[in-house]
Structure 1
Amino acid sequence: MKKIKNNLIWCMVFGLAWSGCDSNLDEVTFSDLSAQTYTYTDAYSAMGIAYANMRNLFSHQTWYTLQETSSDGLVMPANASGWDDGGMYKRIHLHTWNSENPQMNNMWQTFYSGVINSNRVIEQLETDVIPVPEGTSKQALISEMKVVRAFFYWLICDNFGNAPLVTSTSTELPAISPRKDIYDFVVQEINEAIPHLSENNDRLMYARFNKWAAKALLANVYLNAEVYSGQPRWEECITQCNDIINSGKYSLASDFKDIFKADNENSAEIIFAVPFDQNLGKGFFIEMFSWHGALKDKVSMQTTPWGSGSAQGIPQFIDTYDSDDKRLADTWLIGPQFAADGVTPLLGSYDKNGQPLNFVNRLPDGLFTSETEGYRMNKFEVQTGALNDLSNDFPFFRYAQVLLMKAECLLRTNDGQQSAQLVTDVRKRNFSDPAKAAVTAAELMANSKYKYGYVENYVIVDPGNQDVVPYGGMLDQLGYEFPWEAHRRRDNIRFGVFTTKSWLSHKPNGDYRILFPIPQQALNSNPNLEQNSGY
């Protein structure tokens, strides 16, 4: 499998060589590069261009951290080692971001680079400029690329709402399309493509959109359909989940940690991954912005994480875990830290200089913390001898998510018994006592365990909105399964929490915050664009 993964990475490296040249917004988003600029030796190398854009989603200043740190699960406060960076991170926590936050432009660039490169490859497949290899068909490859494009448009719809809907390589500056139109386009494109996609989840299709990965994407779109279009699509989501389940192609990993190992491309749970490699496919370096620099010696890293790290769990969220849930320790780096020998204590370097490094679940607020406060990332394996970039493939869609999407939709359509069984099935691997793993429909429908409220000096001083969160128990279950996987913002919005509740230093700051602003650079480059309401 490693050889197959590296072959795919090489195709993506080829793609990044082109997409990396287009760093200017005018060039990337509405490019006037000619088809002759691109030379392809085979279809898979050409398609790698669009897939390669996905690796640009995962830094500390773009889509990935925006999904987590704008939510009630994670925060990136400043500390004695730095991490203020002009306030770019705290504005995300406070919901005071604007169109000039660099994260907005980075995210926009990545999304539309994916769209533009997909459009180009689709056109060149349609016109036979790109040769089609034996064993597949032109229609299958075009359908796959349309799903890749739909993937990027889903992210555009989810994060920006109203945005340009570009489906050709035309150089004309496009106008804004309504969010619902983009949603409708994504749904139609995926549905039309699915019959022509491969049903295999073999080595050739690894980290590509086969039929089941496309259905997982479509299920996610349907799950959030009420947010995107005003009309719920719970039954449609269930149908897609059932198709994946009934295929028999995927299963839950027996060990939760196996899904996130450095060699996780063999996981039977992963339906669609974004592949990374520390040498050939860089871009996943989550430990660099979460881990304290002293943790270099924990696994004999060949590089040093930045300062004392920043990205960490919000204590109000951490407090909702059952202490017997193995996902607590499997997700969060907790307590005293030791060198690779397991004996030598690691020490602080800043406000706790020379003192044992001991991560505690306490934050005075979300703005400035001690170097030892806050649980850090322990979900993705940082392999012994790791470089700056990790080799863990990112599990964008996995089987547990399919089961929990179905469970949520069943709960919302009054089938609580089956919903509770699905949630219990996912929980079983994380509890030694099967009785502790079991949940009931009543528990899933109850209010969240999260103690929402505004915090000063470690204490909730303003509870803010204390309305019951409908299906709050289900929201809690999603929280335990998916930290660090970029789900929480969507979940917060869908469950009505994102713009209504207070947590840590965050207070509600307007319903329009469910969308991010179109970046100022994009507005400056295209007079046909219109800013989202409220910005």
Structure 2
Amino acid sequence: MKKYKLLIIILAVVGISSVFKSCEVEPTYYSQSTPELFFDTQEKVYQRMGRAFTHWAWCMADNQAHSNFIMLQEFTTDEMLVPSRYNDWYDGGNYLRMYHHDFTPTTPGVYDAWRAFSMGVAQAWSAKDDIDQYVDFDALGFPEGSREAVLMQLQTLSAFFYWFGLDMFGGVPLYTSTQGDIKPRATDVETFEFIDSLLTEAIPQLPKKTVLGAQETGAINQAAAALLKARLYFNAESYIRKDMYAEAAAICQDIIDGKYGTYALENEWTNIFGFDNDSSTEIIWSVPSQNAISERSTGPHSNHYGMGEYWSNGEIGNRNNGYCLVPSLDVEGKSYLYGSDNPSSKGTYRLGSPFAKFHEDDVRKQLNAYEGEGKWRGMFYFGEMINPVTGAACHGGNRQVKPNEVLVLVDQIARITPQAGAEVDHGKEGARWGEEASGVRLAKFSPTPWLTEKTLKGNPDIPVFRLAEAYYMLAECKLRAGDKAAAASLINTVRERYFPEGDPDPVTASNLDEWRMLDEWMIEFIGEGRRRTDLIRWNKYTTESWWDKPADGPGKAHYNRFPIPIQAMGSNHLIEQNPGYDTEQ
């Protein structure tokens, strides 16, 4: 059983976890308290610190793909979307506007993202202010180095939230404390350099993981901060028009070599996302989740209504039949995949078709099913939904598939099943024309046990950073530098775990280009909240088309950043709108 401590995460890092007598997730709040009197135990220091981390967990893993960050990173791209299924999930057209890049300062979801990053900054600095000012670490008996570990983790958390803001909005107001007057937005360069300086100061003062597979608790260690710095440099060209791929490559190589801690790629991919993944050798930073305490990894909104039957476990929430993968096939079953031997008459696309881009021999490309004793298989729900382990079937939800019919999930989003009263729309396809059975579903983060083993439910943590990202960043840096052979070798080192009989389509110096690189990013990290950033880095987000999403066209490069939400400008009159959105409503 995991020793789960989301709000008191640092204990495991500084080696004093015996202080705590419970596994409470939420901090204790007091109606009145004098700060200098409040901090009379070590536990209260970690409670104060933990508040900023609960906000981070909410930002990154609240219903996974519906979290504030993941949603805008995935549902605006060629990987995933929330189609309208007749009246289900239309939601006033909000999800359709997101997918079609119809961004305005009042777009739903954009303010949630602004609030997520800005509140995160405030929470991190507020906790750091209080602890720095009022806590006497020596008097409370903390081990040597604890003060630096606590303060620098909060500083790194603030850097993470600032990176979040930079990636989505560009330059943002910069603070180092919750005290003082409101500020206008800093420039992109100033924001970039500020994040860089926070991380440069923090990294050497953070704890380092020294035991391979030691429990991850949500704490920030040296490798997490270093990977964030590498990610900052890796995207510097799109953030500040500066090529820093060499600098990013150097950090990634150091991470792989163990300079910032001890990690290793997993040979078995389910270890990364499984019930005991807090001890995964590959995970560098993750949002903790635990059964009956704070379950972050169960019940994604993509699950069909009848999945309780399939799982033999009806205690999973959020079976709302929502998001799915961008389809690979048209309404007639022909392929949108570029280079297909059965191409759609509507055309093919370099981007998109995620399910089709997983090779048929890839061990991930099978029905997700629990096998017992914590073991599970498959990363998707697709095709005839009969559990390959138990034989239990998922039946229809009485929309287009009747409750006595076995559900068949298709890699299409179209009106395929005749529906009384909607005859005029039969045969239409597009994000507006989904059905109950439309779309392959991602089951990457939420393996579901049988009811008889229900205490495993919710135990998988949600990875935020993992070692494979360092391999892929380094590979892309080498590709850009012209060393395709070395780039291919790095990618294949990760790919080999998915092909026990040998990789039938390895990356090579001859087949590796920008398109294959983007495909490899998609295949490895689908659903993990980075697709939009990858497309922008390769200048594809606004310039390229994918299924039911034409290129944004000339004059729309500003869509690479979201508009500043009107609520943010209303609360701080010094904040100015991003260029290109000034005249848009």
Matched with 2:306 is: 294
Matched with 2:517 is: 474
Matched with 1:512 is: 558
Matched, 1:3 2:52: no
Matched with 2:287 is: 274
Segments of structure 1 that go 5 or more residues without pairing to the other structure are: 22-32, 446-470
Given that 2:472 and 2:490 are in contact with CA atoms closer than 8 Å, whether structure 1 keeps it comes out as: yes
Matched with 1:168 is: 177
Change (3 A) 1:437 1:131: farther
AA at the equivalent of 2:358: Y
Change (3 A) 1:106 1:11: farther
1:361 to 411, 435, 445: 411
Given that 2:7 and 2:46 are in contact with CA atoms closer than 8 Å, whether structure 1 keeps it comes out as: no
AA at the equivalent of 1:369: G
Change (3 A) 1:282 1:206: closer
Matched, 1:407 2:475: yes
AA at the equivalent of 2:265: L
Matched with 2:270 is: 257
Given that 1:15 and 1:50 are in contact with CA atoms closer than 8 Å, whether structure 2 keeps it comes out as: no
| Alpha-carbon distance in 1 for matches of 2:323, 2:472 | 30
AA at the equivalent of 2:571: S
Given that 2:216 and 2:284 are in contact with CA atoms closer than 8 Å, whether structure 1 keeps it comes out as: no
| Alpha-carbon distance in 1 for matches of 2:105, 2:36 | 32
Q: What is the identity percentage for the equivalent residue pairs of Structure 1 and Structure 2? A: 29
| Alpha-carbon distance in 2 for matches of 1:16, 1:440 | 55
Given that 2:309 and 2:393 are in contact with CA atoms closer than 8 Å, whether structure 1 keeps it comes out as: no
Change (3 A) 1:83 1:75: same
Deviations 1:295-335 (A, max 9, x none): 12222131443433333343223223322222333332121
| Bigger mean CA offset, 308-317 vs 477-486 | 308-317
Matched, 1:486 2:532: no
| Alpha-carbon distance in 2 for matches of 1:488, 1:16 | 37
The 5-angstrom pairing of residues 309-388 of structure 1 reads: 309-315=322-328, 316-329=353-366, 330-338=378-386, 342-349=390-397, 350-354=399-403, 355-363=405-413, 364-384=429-449, 385=451
2:50 to 48, 51, 75: 48
Query: 1:127 Cα deviation (Å)?
Result: 2.2
* Residue aligned with 1:50, SS: helix
Deviations 1:445-485 (A, max 9, x none): 2xxxxxxxxxxxxxxxxxxxxxxxxx211111111101111
Given that 1:296 and 1:304 are in contact with CA atoms closer than 8 Å, whether structure 2 keeps it comes out as: no
| Alpha-carbon distance in 1 for matches of 2:361, 2:137 | 55
Given that 1:288 and 1:388 are in contact with CA atoms closer than 8 Å, whether structure 2 keeps it comes out as: no
1:235 to 229, 246, 253: 246
Matched, 1:526 2:535: no
Matched, 1:439 2:507: yes
* Residue aligned with 1:444, SS: coil
| Alpha-carbon distance in 1 for matches of 2:481, 2:314 | 49
Given that 1:162 and 1:178 are in contact with CA atoms closer than 8 Å, whether structure 2 keeps it comes out as: yes
Matched with 1:450 is: none
Query: 1:491 Cα deviation (Å)?
Result: 0.8
Query: 1:175 Cα deviation (Å)?
Result: 1.0
| Alpha-carbon distance in 1 for matches of 2:80, 2:559 | 17
AA at the equivalent of 1:365: G
Change (3 A) 1:122 1:5: closer
| Alpha-carbon distance in 2 for matches of 1:109, 1:12 | 26
1:155 to 136, 161, 164: 164
Given that 1:337 and 1:358 are in contact with CA atoms closer than 8 Å, whether structure 2 keeps it comes out as: yes
Given that 1:147 and 1:214 are in contact with CA atoms closer than 8 Å, whether structure 2 keeps it comes out as: yes
Change (3 A) 1:61 1:534: farther
* Residue aligned with 1:273, SS: strand
* Residue aligned with 1:216, SS: helix
| Alpha-carbon distance in 1 for matches of 2:24, 2:467 | 25
AA at the equivalent of 2:178: T
> Radius of gyration: which is bigger?
2
* Residue aligned with 1:436, SS: coil
Deviations 1:142-191 (A, max 9, x none): 22221111011110100111221121112522211112211111111111
* Residue aligned with 2:256, SS: helix
The 5-angstrom pairing of residues 385-400 of structure 1 reads: 385=451, 390-400=458-468
Query: 1:488 Cα deviation (Å)?
Result: 0.8
Given that 1:219 and 1:241 are in contact with CA atoms closer than 8 Å, whether structure 2 keeps it comes out as: yes
Query: 1:358 Cα deviation (Å)?
Result: 1.0
1:244 to 245, 255, 263: 255
Segments of structure 2 that go 5 or more residues without pairing to the other structure are: 10-21, 329-352, 367-377, 414-428
Given that 2:383 and 2:410 are in contact with CA atoms closer than 8 Å, whether structure 1 keeps it comes out as: yes
The 5-angstrom pairing of residues 113-124 of structure 1 reads: 113-124=119-130
| Alpha-carbon distance in 2 for matches of 1:494, 1:101 | 23
Change (3 A) 1:418 1:150: same
- Aligned-residue CA RMSD (Å): 2.7
2:492 to 424, 427, 444: 424
Given that 1:72 and 1:314 are in contact with CA atoms closer than 8 Å, whether structure 2 keeps it comes out as: no
Change (3 A) 1:180 1:7: closer
Q: Report the TM-score when normalising by structure 1.
A: 0.86
Change (3 A) 1:369 1:81: same
Query: 1:383 Cα deviation (Å)?
Result: 2.3
Change (3 A) 1:488 1:387: farther
* Residue aligned with 2:175, SS: coil
Query: 1:516 Cα deviation (Å)?
Result: 1.1
| Alpha-carbon distance in 2 for matches of 1:89, 1:240 | 37
| Alpha-carbon distance in 1 for matches of 2:495, 2:357 | 15
Deviations 1:374-406 (A, max 9, x none): 100121233224699833211111111111111
Matched, 1:74 2:80: yes
Change (3 A) 1:16 1:434: farther
Query: 1:7 Cα deviation (Å)?
Result: 7.1
Given that 1:158 and 1:515 are in contact with CA atoms closer than 8 Å, whether structure 2 keeps it comes out as: yes
AA at the equivalent of 2:402: N
* Residue aligned with 1:397, SS: strand
Deviations 1:77-112 (A, max 9, x none): 011461111111111100003222331122222212
| Alpha-carbon distance in 2 for matches of 1:181, 1:168 | 17
Change (3 A) 1:390 1:442: same
Query: 1:250 Cα deviation (Å)?
Result: 0.8
| Alpha-carbon distance in 2 for matches of 1:51, 1:11 | 15
| Alpha-carbon distance in 1 for matches of 2:169, 2:511 | 34
Given that 1:81 and 1:308 are in contact with CA atoms closer than 8 Å, whether structure 2 keeps it comes out as: no
Given that 2:28 and 2:47 are in contact with CA atoms closer than 8 Å, whether structure 1 keeps it comes out as: no
